Amino acid sequence: MQGSERVHEEVGHLFRHEAGRMAAVLTRLLGVQAWEEAEDIVQDTLLQALSSWKLKGMPDNPSAWLYTVARRKAVDKLRQRRMQEEHHAVIGHALHSEYTLSPAVQQLFLDNEIEDSQLRMMFACCHPAIAYEAQLALILKTLCGLSIGEIAHSFRTNDETIGKRLYRAREKIREEKIELEVPPPTALPARLEAVLHAIYLLFNEGYHSAHPDKLIRHELCAEAIRLALLLLKNPLTALPVVYALLALMCFHASREEARTAEDGSMVLLKEQDRSRWNHALIKKAEYFLEASATGDEISAYHVEASIASCHAGAATFEETAWDRIVQLYNVLETIKPGPIVALNRAIAIGHASTPMAGIDALEAIPDMNDDYLCLSALGDFYAAGREYADARSSYERALQNVPTTAGRALLQRKLAALPLD
């Protein structure tokens, strides 16, 4: 790999891994109302890295280099304010002089503080005055480093809708002078649902990437699991629902390596080499799932983790407990109704019963006629039922809408595997 290409790749990786944490510390330092200033510092730091590293080469510790530069930019920003604006309460007392300014910023950039700040700011974003979906968008954009397009993919909507949500949320914060402070400990559980939802969406963006050329973004999956594990350190948030989400993510993450072939192409669950699954991670997931059963509440995460457990416990695709999975999807539809749940339920029905039963269930889902996932599943069941013309038609329609390179390649392989008419 050429030096310039390596720098681009490294900066891209660091952006995914560090941008959210840097933004969390900066917003805690500058005040949450200064979203744009914090984001500008992060962007400037990454652009400076791109320029400097091309000329001078990669530093020994790229991550530390980024935090050093971001810290200096934050100090400059605070000095420009001349201490006349209101600063975040947690550091205000330490910023009374030029002498104490830099040490106070330095303290905020300690490694442990970075991790804690990110999670604290996630709770701060979940202010009850802000609409729930806007809370999620703020977290994913500012603290997790996702693009507007990636957030739109998570919500199954378009970029314009997400852009408007973010704009309205920031205007509301600015105009109503909403103080996005970390809530007191007793208020944490009330905001936990939104924080968990954001972590869930972050993991899904890693596991089912919206990036046109990346099937899985492992760093996003790992970051989501890291954030959930941090919740277990606080007795007020170490709740059964957190264990359930961790179980779900660990079950899915255990299959990451088996989901891609050596050439980077997608490997379907039916074709995966189960010896490549991370069985240590499956054991961890089973532990989390058992720990999640201590409460009275059954959340969507509990049900989804149970479904994932059925897959993890099957020796082969054919031996999967499909009847049990259909039952679990029936429960999930009552808790979390929606087209994706209905789609997965229909696929499970087709495997538990007959291909035609799967086709009927898929065709009964409203507003999914042009969805590439639904069309691909229809093609699979038509092919299994030897209705090859209908299978070809479904795959070709799916190809018109599939957004990723890996998805297109998979559909093309399925088309090529069909017998000639």
> DSSP states of 273-326 as a string?
-GGGS-HHHHHHHHHHHHHGGGSS---HHHHHHHHHHHHHT-SSSTTS-HHHHH
Contacts of 407 (CB under 8 A, 6+ apart): 266, 372
| pLDDT of res. 331 | 97
Query: 260 in helix, strand or coil?
Result: strand
Query: How many other C-beta atoms are found inside a 10 Å radius of the C-beta of residue 163?
Result: 15
For residue 261, tell me if it sits in a domain: no
Q: What are 97-155's pLDDT values in tens digits?
A: 544 556 656 655 555 444 556 777 788 888 888 999 999 998 888 777 788 888 888 88
Task: Check which CATH number belongs to the domain holding 346 and give it.
Answer: 1.25.40.10
Contacts of 296 (CB under 8 A, 6+ apart): none
| pLDDT of res. 33 | 62
For residue 285, tell me if it sits in a domain: no
| pLDDT of res. 101 | 56
Domain stop point among 91, 109, 127: 109
Domain stop point among 109, 125, 160: 109
| pLDDT of res. 114 | 47
For residue 354, tell me if it sits in a domain: yes
If you write DSSP's letter for every residue of 292-306 in order, what string do you get?
A: GGGSS---HHHHHHH
* Start-to-end C-alpha separation, the chain: 45
CA distance 61 to 82: 32
Instruction: Indicate the number of domains in the chain.
Output: 2
For residue 206, tell me if it sits in a domain: no
| pLDDT of res. 214 | 65
CA distance 15 to 29: 20
| 266 beta partners | 260
Query: How many other C-beta atoms are found inside a 10 Å radius of the C-beta of residue 187?
Result: 14
| pLDDT of res. 36 | 72
| pLDDT of res. 415 | 95
For residue 234, tell me if it sits in a domain: no
For residue 242, tell me if it sits in a domain: no
DSSP 184: P
Q: Are 251 and 309 in contact (CB under 8 A)?
A: yes
Q: Are 399 and 391 in contact (CB under 8 A)?
A: no
For residue 101, tell me if it sits in a domain: yes
For residue 181, tell me if it sits in a domain: no
Q: What are 62-82's pLDDT values in tens digits?
A: 888 888 888 888 877 777 765
| pLDDT of res. 1 | 45
Domain stop point among 90, 109, 128: 109
CA distance 268 to 260: 9
Question: What rounded mean pLDDT belongs to the chain?
Answer: 84
Query: 141 in helix, strand or coil?
Result: helix
CA distance 139 to 122: 6
| pLDDT of res. 6 | 72
DSSP 266: B
CA distance 140 to 147: 8
| pLDDT of res. 110 | 52
Domain with 18, as residue range(s), is: 1-109
Q: For each of the chain's 421 residues, which pLDDT tens digit applies?
A: 456 667 777 777 777 667 777 777 777 677 656 667 887 888 888 888 888 888 888 888 888 888 888 888 887 777 776 544 444 444 455 544 544 556 656 655 555 444 556 777 788 888 888 999 999 998 888 777 788 888 888 888 889 999 999 888 888 888 888 777 777 888 888 899 999 999 999 999 888 876 655 667 888 888 899 899 989 988 888 999 999 999 999 999 999 899 988 887 888 899 999 999 999 999 999 999 999 998 788 999 999 999 999 999 999 999 999 999 999 999 999 999 999 999 999 999 999 999 999 999 999 998 888 899 999 999 999 999 999 999 999 999 999 988 888 889 999 999 999 987 6
| pLDDT of res. 73 | 84
CA distance 376 to 371: 9
Contacts of 93 (CB under 8 A, 6+ apart): none
